[in-house]
Each structure stands twice: as C-alpha cells, then as structure tokens.
Structure 1
C-alpha cells in the first residue's frame, strides 16, 4: 500500500527516532509499504519518519525505481566509520522542489540489521554512501534544509508558506 510522505515543515520530521527492538509481522508490512511508496514516488531511499513512523528503519535502492536491482532494508542503521569529503547535489521526497549541495563523507561503513534480523555491514562509496547518509540523517531529525545556509532555507520557507496559503484558498478556508 502506498503511504503518504510527510512534507517539510511537518514537526514529526524533526524528531530523533527510536531503535527497533523486535521484528514483527507489522514491521515487515511497513517495510513492504515503504518500498512500494519509495518506488512509486521515484525515490532512491525512504526513511520511516518520512511516513510518520518514529523508528530507525530505512529502505534504499540507489539503482532507482526503474531498475529495482539494489534494494536494501536496513533496521537500526548506524554509521560506524567515514572518510573523505565530497559535494553532493541532493533533493528529498519530503522537501518538494528543493535541492542543494551538501558536503558528505565520500565513504561510509554502516551497520544494522536486515528485515530478518541478520546483522549487516555495508561499506559504501559514491552514490550509495550519499543515499545512506541522507536517509540516516532523517532518523536523527535532520533534513537537507537543515544543512543549508539561512538565506536558502528562508527562501524555501517562504515558498512553503505560499503553497500552504494557496492550499487554504483552494480548499475554501
């Protein structure tokens, strides 16, 4: 089932997420729904807080919705090592029309569990490293708009306010 993606400035997106203690049938259903949502919205990653679940869970597929070759489910992901720096042009399903350049680690090592409770260790570079860092940021309540300067964030905030006002007018409020 496709889920609704929360949009900035929803306060739920700014909260730190809880560790997943147990893999349940409900969690597996949530994972399936998150994967479907990510692909339907042309994403390469989706974090649980983006759909209103405050748990440490991400689904990623850096090959994208057209290929669907590199799907990974990571429960309780944690970056345990990083090296190098690279500029990354990023956008986000929770921040429509917003993109920016962010300084990220060039390589990361991430640990966590898969959907069956097996331990994972991913050593990533290039685009996979960027996707992992972006999605793990969500679990800590950090969005790409929190990683830009005040002016760029302020301009995006004004755009969001205009959209919200237009939505009210369209709804007859």
Structure 2
C-alpha cells in the first residue's frame, strides 16, 4: 500500500469526524500495510522531488482516519535542522495516560493535511503528556513522555482518532492569559 495526497480526506468529508476503533493483535496484513503506509507518507512528505512530482504536502504526522481508515493508528516523524529524523513513531492504540496542568501552544497556530482553510487562533495543548501505545517501529509496547512540540504533534494526531480537529480547540477572544501558565512554542 502506498499513500499519496489524493488518499487524504478533507474536513468537508464527514468520515474525518468518526471515532476510530481499537486495532486488535496480532496485526492483520492489512493493518501492517496501513501503519507502514502512514509512516512512509510522513517520511517522504518533505522530499522536494515528491512534493514537486507527486504533489505531496509536507507533514509531521498522519492518522489513519485521515485516509478514511477508522483505526487507532498514527505516524509522527520530527526532523532536526539538518533534516535528520530526531523522533519517529508509528503508534497503534495510543492512550493519553497523564498530562500536565500547564498549557502550551504553537505561536503560529496549527495546520493539518485534512484542513485546507487557515484557522487563526490559539490551539491550547498540554505542555507535557505521557502516552502508552504499541510502536510498530520498535515492535513493542512503549511509554512516551513528551513535551513541547512533540507533545503538541502527538495530541494533534491523537485528536484525529476521536474525530476532533485542531480548530475545534480555538475559542473566540482566547488569549494566552486564559491559559494555565502557557509555554509558547515558536
């Protein structure tokens, strides 16, 4: 299975709002192909040649529901300044098990492959989170403690699994003063 930008559904498609279902183990061949394809898309999405020739849009994460698959799966690939991968996950059945009271948000707001329209405003997130999941890349159950940008990306992708989009968190006239000791991530 190979995903392209044509496989990604938009927020105008009601399926993006569906709640994804737990994935059973052992993984079926179809589920293995899907998690591999999600990871591959995110890895390749920043390749200039693929952007130009295949219309890829750069991404740091992708959830299965974004390709119309109602499964609790997501892939995240974060790159450093030299474009090297600094963190990567291919998570199945991720669960948020704890979070900080402190908030954080991206100074320039969030975006999404499934959302073409720009939505201005603060998207409040937990500054620190702990997730438990099965990581397909490591082939084992993992506990991930994340903060900063990584925590925001993971929360964004996990929201997709529950049918929530980033702009659902934006409230009119919500400024930093309405958040709990927020960390602003540039």
Bucket of the pairwise TM-score, normalised by the shorter protein: 0.7 to 0.9
TM-score (norm 2): 0.74
Deviation at 1:117, TM superposition (A): 5.2
**How far 1:21 sits from its partner (Å)?**
0.8
More helix by share: 1
- CA deviation map 1:93-144 (0-9, x unaligned): 1002424420110000000102275211000001100001000000000001
- Greater per-residue strand proportion: 1
User: Please, what TM-score do these two structures have when normalized by structure 1?
Assistant: 0.79
Moved more, 67-76 or 4-13: 67-76
| CA-based RMSD | 2.0
Q: For the Cα contact (< 8 Å) 2:105–2:152, is it kept in 1?
A: no
2:12 maps to 1:9: yes
- Is the aligned partner of 1:133 residue 2:136? no
Gaps of 5+ in 1: 152-173
Q: Which aligned pairs between 1:1-173 and structure 2 lie closer than 5 A?
A: 1-3=2-4, 4-22=7-25, 23-38=27-42, 39-40=44-45, 41-63=57-79, 66-83=83-100, 84-88=102-106, 89-100=109-120, 101-115=122-136, 118-149=140-171
Unaligned runs of 5+ in 2: 46-56, 174-186
